Structure 1
Amino acid sequence: MPERNIEFGKYGARGLKGHEAVARQLDDLAGYIATPVTARRGLTARLNYLTRSTHALDAARAAGLTVTGRTLRAWQAGTRTPSRKNLAVIEQAYRTVRRENVARYLLARLNRDGRGTRVEIHPLNQSQVDRPRQRAMEFRTMNVRRWDRIVGAWAAGDERELDEAWVDQVVDLGSQWGQYEYVTNIGFAA
């Protein structure tokens, strides 16, 4: 694909890929539990979320939480504590189930019946790049009307598809869209 950066950061530029910034913003909008899973309160909140219905429990099992119901009840009661490996599995299952649950809501909010959502793109940080090699880049805004592929890839955790979906939207910036492959931040609200 034209304008893709091959050696990003070679001269000192700093930033992250646009799709990673979009995923981070969608994660913020998903509203995860703030208390860490290592704290008793955070663990209990995640386990309650994952076991509140048979649908949630089935999704948690599909996401990798494969312990028995007896073990789950013991963790919730506080009579046993999960190992670090199981804490990581609980966290990953919680995030996966939460993404699936919020994706439909976020999609409706971001698409806004075809009106779309305004996205702010903050260019990459060039403060460490020598003056002759710096590009003239400015803050850009665009209106994204089709969020289906982006939110679907984010909910599925498919980074490659999310990158392709984001690039399909960024091409609307015109001939300089490649300059915004790496960014400092991407902001939007739902």
Structure 2
Amino acid sequence: MPDRTHEFGKYGARGVKGYEAVAHRLDALAGYIATPVTARRGLLARLHYLTRSEHALAAARSAGLTVTDRTLKAWLDGRRSPSKKNLERIETAYRTVRRHNVARYLLARLNREGRGTRVEIHPLNQSQVSRPRQRVVEFRTLNIRHWDRIVEAWANDNIQALDDAWVDQIVDLGSQWGQYEYVTNVGFAA
């Protein structure tokens, strides 16, 4: 079994860790609000999402949004604007709450009652690597049947757990799984 890559990019290869590509794809499937939090419309959309129920507000508070109800009301009414630091907190709380809200739905869609989801793994970019140092790495597909650990780690924003869960899945590629630790893209649909 191959070891983890220690000096990635030494000869010019480009790519991202596989678990990062999976997290980006799950973020895309989560369907975040497209308008930035710095725009009034984006701010209001996030605040309405975080304050639409007591449960959502409690989740937002546990995710780091620690302002008073009076301040939240002033932001919603447009009487005051949040500071840059509070805008970051609002964005972080929104993404955290959104991830937890869609995790169960994504898990059911990805597991598909045990049938799993086909994942396309696009290999790293070796266009800047000199010919003698290039590896033969090809496009691969893999059917992942158990997404539980991957989605749970993504929802909790636990990078190490997500990396471990992703590696546990790609070992099914066989003895060459180490070649897919870094990739240009990981694609799947839910």
Q: TM-score, normalised by structure 2?
A: 0.99
Query: Which string of whole-angstrom CA distances, capped at 9 and with x for unpartnered residues, describes residues 57-105 of structure 1?
Result: 0000000000000000000111100000000000000000000000000
On the 8 A contact 2:2/2:175 being kept in 1, the answer is no
Gaps of 5+ in 2: none
Aligned-pair identity in percent equals 78
On the 8 A contact 2:2/2:176 being kept in 1, the answer is no
The residue aligned with 1:174 is: 174
The residue aligned with 1:43 is: 43
The residue aligned with 2:19 is: 19
Question: RMSD over aligned Cα, in angstroms?
Answer: 0.7
Query: Which string of whole-angstrom CA distances, capped at 9 and with x for unpartnered residues, describes residues 146-185 of structure 1?
Result: 0000000000000000000000000000000000000000
In structure 2, give the amino acid aligned to 1:164: D
Deviation at 1:111, TM superposition (A): 0.1
Query: Which string of whole-angstrom CA distances, capped at 9 and with x for unpartnered residues, describes residues 108-143 of structure 1?
Result: 000000000000000000000000000011100000
Deviation at 1:31, TM superposition (A): 0.1
On the 8 A contact 1:3/1:179 being kept in 2, the answer is no
Task: Spell out structure 1 runs of 4+ moving beyond 2 A.
Answer: none
Deviation at 1:44, TM superposition (A): 0.1
Gaps of 5+ in 1: none
SS of 2:121's partner is strand
1:90 aligns with 2:94: no
Deviation at 1:3, TM superposition (A): 2.5
1:189 aligns with 2:184: no
Measure the CA separation in 1 of the matches of 2:169 and 2:144: 7
SS of 1:21's partner is helix
SS of 2:178's partner is helix
The residue aligned with 2:77 is: 77
On the 8 A contact 2:11/2:130 being kept in 1, the answer is yes
Measure the CA separation in 1 of the matches of 2:84 and 2:64: 15
SS of 1:183's partner is strand
Deviation at 1:2, TM superposition (A): 3.5
The residue aligned with 1:148 is: 148
Measure the CA separation in 2 of the matches of 1:15 and 1:188: 18
SS of 1:36's partner is coil
Measure the CA separation in 2 of the matches of 1:15 and 1:107: 26
